Amino acid sequence: TQLVRESCQNYKRREKKDGACKCKFNLCLQFNSVLLTVLCTLPQLLPCILSVWSTAFLLGYVAFRGMCRLCGNNGDLIPLSDAAGAQHSAEGGVMYMAELREMLKKYLKEERIEDTLSRASHPPGSSEGNAVAREILQNLQNLRMDHTWTDSHYATLQFPSRTQPNALWLVDSEGAELEEIPLDSEGYCAYSATGTATGGVVYVNYGRSEDFEQLRAMGIALNGSIAVARVGGAVSFAEKVWHAQEAGLGGVLISPDPADVPQDTRRLGLHSNAVISEHVHLGSGDPFTPGFPSFNHTQFPSTQSSGLPIIPAQPISANVASKLLSQLSGAGCPRGWQGRLPYVQCVLGPGFTGPSERRVKMAVYNTMKPVLLNNIFASIEGKVESDHYIIIGAQRDSWGPGAVKSGVGTALLMELARTFSNMVENGFYPRRSLLFVSWDGGEFGNVGATEWLEGYLTMLHLKAVAYFSLDQAILGDDILSVYTSPLLADLIEGALKQVCVSYSFFLQSSVAVKPLYLNSGAYSFTAFGGVPAMQLHFTEEARSYPFVNTQLDSVGRLQELLQGRLGSVGRAVAELVGLMVLRLSYDQLLPLDVTLSHLSFSVCQSRGLSPQWVFSARGDYSRAAKNLHEAIKNSDIQDERLARLYNTRIMRVEYYFLSQYLSVVETPFRHVFNGRGDHTLSALADHVSLLRSAPHLFDEARFRRQLALFTWTLQGAANALSGDVWNIDNPL
């Protein structure tokens, strides 16, 4: 024992001198050599000495493993103390995952999350927004990241006119203005069509496709009318306007209803004159450069997104909605459409009560403006696969104070960047690179993130491992909604098991796993870029946080909702995301689930149209996934060449779910499962369902095209997963 102590003291002195010490294995070899010498000279005491030797070996291992627990390929020790963090070389060893989890918990600070949240309004291109950008860049530079930089784009954004505010009037049958209805000057729908629209008023509930189908079935006159839709219904403003436009309406007014958005100011609700603003572009990114980047040096031909509306849209308050709807005449509302607006007996319109034939006239005068957007990046380089990136990002800009909309995400982003930087300084060497990104232009449809994807899509192919969006991560603490690519489903499940142990409210929370949605900060990464992506939302079960997209979205109100626990909830969410990032950056093989067992392929057979090729493609894919799993299980995954080969095949999967048979300009969201368009599995299933609900609307030629697009995209993914061309199953 004395020999071992002296030996370890010598190593510690040597470590101070040249920054290295031998590992526990070498130390134990020296100890063993001494004992073996004793064994050779005292054979008669062999049984006793063997017993003593075994006991001493185990005791020595336990006693000194704290000093020499981390060994690299060359036998160097990586010290874990804070003081020694910046003194070891990049050729150091690898920590165990349990140690990394503890290190992550140690460095995450909830008070830092709260301190980052106090913000005033800071829209893109404003002096306040530029000041926030400079502060974030400086903070990231202070963390001593491997790289920090900005990525700039010139995007066309829409703002309220400074000279001509949007307006709303009641007019007579001749169009003469009878009464102007006051509007909130700060509330607007970015990318609305401009101009005026006049017509009767039709209440359309949430403005979902099924709502308009019900109105048509009831024979309600829609053409040329002005729709009043309520916020919510699991559809965005853009989808409400799109459905109204498709139904032939001339304009859309969107209001909060007390049934969906709390409006008792004494109990953390909106006041009755508040409006909720949101963009109405049915897409992502700059709508005037669809599918390609808005760099200043590019000169693409003039075009615009098909998702831009051609009818005006404007948010209104509950008071304005109540004033309009309380005067409607016509058929009564279907069951379930009744909201809680005061003085409103739910009828559909489009006429008004009273002797004169009145209508509504709306005018939208928003103006387009080119704005310089600056995305801010910082990175920690991976030590083995530096060209593979795990990306964590958050929206930075906000129309109002934006505590939930941008503040929470930015605070979590900065805290995770600081935490991982500290971990690297204290012994953590990520296998793959980490990118921390503050996005600009998020309020207008994730413009900054989408433009970056469009600009570097070919470069990101087979390099971006996964993306985590921190936008709107905290709106409560009762229900955790996980919007994710299926490839990350197993990863979140494992991380939740770790976090639930540390935070009591996680044990009481329910978890819902859902597909990515259009307005999600993660959507473009999967649907456009073919990168597995995830976004988390913590919400309240009893009441929703009503202040998102309003001028009332402040830290004080969010703290009131959470009863002062914003810091602890934020730390829990940061730890949850951090654990997933750890796995992706640390594991030898990427922990992505490439199976399709969760997906339904229920495409019926009728009219002689057989979906056998869909099932054949799915079978090929399933066999390829199974063969890959078996190959990994029977291989030496410590072989770096093999590990990289398998990781490359795993990373191909999401990308090859982007249909290669469509134009990225005309159909930017080409993903067959998470995208939008006729090529998707959901569109195929909806079309086939017409065979039962409305056979006269079924289009056989369209069906054949849909079937071919989906089948060959899935078959291509199966072929890519198989590996090389000689591994593809092509029987004679």
State how far the Cα of 547 lies from the Cα of 220, in Å rounded to an integer: 33
Does the structure show a pLDDT above 60 at 162? yes
State how far the Cα of 615 lies from the Cα of 618, in Å rounded to an integer: 5
Supply the pLDDT for residue 173.
Answer: 86
457 token code pair: 């899509």
- Split at pLDDT 50, 70, 90, the class of 694 is confident
Look up residue 198 and give its DSSP letter. Answer: E
Range of the domain at 447: 97-150+371-586
The answer to whether 175 and 198 have CB atoms below 8 angstroms apart is: yes
Helix (H, G, I), strand (E, B) or coil at 153: strand
Residue 340 lies in a domain: yes
Residues 311 and 439 in one domain: no
State how far the Cα of 480 lies from the Cα of 477, in Å rounded to an integer: 7
Query: For 579, what's the count of Cα atoms within 13 Å in the CB-facing half-sphere?
Result: 23
Mean pLDDT, range 134-162, rounded to an integer: 93
Helix (H) or strand (E) holding 171: strand 167-171
For the chain, percent of residues with pLDDT exceeding 90: 49
Does the structure show a pLDDT above 50 at 721? yes
- For the stretch 96-125, pLDDT in tens is 888 898 999 999 887 777 766 656 778 998
Give the domain CATH number at 621: 1.20.930.40
Does the structure show a pLDDT above 90 at 175? no
The answer to whether 503 and 568 have CB atoms below 8 angstroms apart is: yes
For the chain, percent of residues with pLDDT exceeding 70: 81
- The residue type found at 416 is L
- Specify which residues 396 forms β-bridges with: none
Does the structure show a pLDDT above 60 at 530? yes
41 token code pair: 């000279």
Supply the pLDDT for residue 576.
Answer: 94
Residues 376 and 470 in one domain: yes
State how far the Cα of 699 lies from the Cα of 290, in Å rounded to an integer: 29
Locate the DSSP E strands across 491-646: 510-514, 533-539
Residues 461 and 561 in one domain: yes
Does the structure show a pLDDT above 50 at 237? yes
Phi/psi at 100 (nearest 5 deg)? -65, -40
Among 346, 364, 382, the domain boundary falls at 364
Helices 24-41 and 46-64: crossing angle in degrees, nearest 10, is: 160
Supply the pLDDT for residue 63.
Answer: 37
- For the stretch 26-60, pLDDT in tens is 444 444 454 444 444 444 544 544 454 444 444 44
Burial 176-212 (b: 16+ CB within 10 A, else e): eeeeebebbeebbbbbbbeeebbbbbbbbbbbbeebb
- For the stretch 651-690, pLDDT in tens is 888 999 999 888 887 888 999 999 998 999 889 888 888 8
Give the domain CATH number at 453: 3.40.630.10
Residue 568 lies in a domain: yes
Q: Left, alpha or beta for 411 (phi > 0: left; psi -120 to 50: alpha)?
A: alpha
- Split at pLDDT 50, 70, 90, the class of 75 is very low
Residues 414 and 538 in one domain: yes
All residues at 6 or more sequence positions from 605 whose CB lies less than 8 Å from its CB, including other chains: 611
Residues 336 and 207 in one domain: yes
- Split at pLDDT 50, 70, 90, the class of 504 is low
Does the structure show a pLDDT above 80 at 76? no
- For the stretch 600-628, pLDDT in tens is 555 555 555 556 777 788 888 888 888 88
For residue 467, give Cα distances in angstroms to 280, 394, 598.
25, 11, 21
Residues 384 and 294 in one domain: no
Tell me the pLDDT of the chain averaged across its residues: 82
- Determine whether 447 is exposed, middle or buried from the number of CB atoms within 10 Å of its CB (0-12, 13-18, 19+): buried
234 token code pair: 């699991």
Supply the pLDDT for residue 13.
Answer: 39
State how far the Cα of 705 lies from the Cα of 702, in Å rounded to an integer: 5
Supply the pLDDT for residue 136.
Answer: 94
The answer to whether 466 and 534 have CB atoms below 8 angstroms apart is: yes
Residues 355 and 377 in one domain: no
The answer to whether 503 and 451 have CB atoms below 8 angstroms apart is: no
State how far the Cα of 91 lies from the Cα of 111, in Å rounded to an integer: 34
Helix (H) or strand (E) holding 568: helix 566-586
State how far the Cα of 262 lies from the Cα of 550, in Å rounded to an integer: 13
Residues 103 and 133 in one domain: yes
Residue 524 lies in a domain: yes
State how far the Cα of 14 lies from the Cα of 8, in Å rounded to an integer: 10
Mean pLDDT, range 8-18, rounded to an integer: 41
Supply the pLDDT for residue 49.
Answer: 43
- Split at pLDDT 50, 70, 90, the class of 23 is very low
- For the stretch 563-587, pLDDT in tens is 888 888 999 999 999 999 999 999 9
For residue 318, give Cα distances in angstroms to 167, 172, 325.
16, 23, 10
Give the domain CATH number at 312: 3.50.30.30
Phi/psi at 230 (nearest 5 deg)? -100, 150
Number of domains in the chain: 3
Residues 332 and 428 in one domain: no
Helix (H) or strand (E) holding 506: helix 504-508
Show contacts of 64-68: CB within 8 Å, 24+ apart. 64/4, 64/8, 64/24, 64/27, 65/24, 67/8, 67/11, 67/12, 67/24, 68/8, 68/11, 68/21, 68/22, 68/23, 68/24, 68/27
Helix (H, G, I), strand (E, B) or coil at 255: strand
Residue 42 lies in a domain: no
Look at 64-68, 81-85, 270-274 and tell me which has the smallest mean pLDDT.
81-85
Supply the pLDDT for residue 55.
Answer: 45
Residues 288 and 408 in one domain: no
Does the structure show a pLDDT above 80 at 732? no
Supply the pLDDT for residue 216.
Answer: 93
Does the structure show a pLDDT above 90 at 494? no
Does the structure show a pLDDT above 90 at 394? yes
Does the structure show a pLDDT above 70 at 191? yes
The answer to whether 189 and 277 have CB atoms below 8 angstroms apart is: yes
Among 364, 399, 416, the domain boundary falls at 364
Residues 621 and 567 in one domain: no
Supply the pLDDT for residue 294.
Answer: 77
Residue 53 lies in a domain: no
3-state SS string for 113-131 = HHHCCCCCCECCCCHHHHH
State how far the Cα of 68 lies from the Cα of 451, in Å rounded to an integer: 48
Nearest to 547 by CA among 472, 628, 630: 472
- Selected residue with higher pLDDT from 75 and 706: 706
Residue 520 lies in a domain: yes
Supply the pLDDT for residue 684.
Answer: 87
Residue 16 lies in a domain: no
- Split at pLDDT 50, 70, 90, the class of 529 is very high
Q: Left, alpha or beta for 712 (phi > 0: left; psi -120 to 50: alpha)?
A: alpha
- Split at pLDDT 50, 70, 90, the class of 507 is low
Residue 307 lies in a domain: yes
Among 314, 347, 364, the domain boundary falls at 364
- For the stretch 297-327, pLDDT in tens is 555 666 778 889 999 999 999 999 999 999 9
Does the structure show a pLDDT above 80 at 350? yes
- The residue type found at 480 is L
Supply the pLDDT for residue 160.
Answer: 95
For residue 365, give Cα distances in angstroms to 187, 194, 482.
12, 5, 38
Residues 500 and 420 in one domain: yes
Supply the pLDDT for residue 367.
Answer: 96
The answer to whether 21 and 76 have CB atoms below 8 angstroms apart is: yes
State how far the Cα of 566 lies from the Cα of 475, in Å rounded to an integer: 10
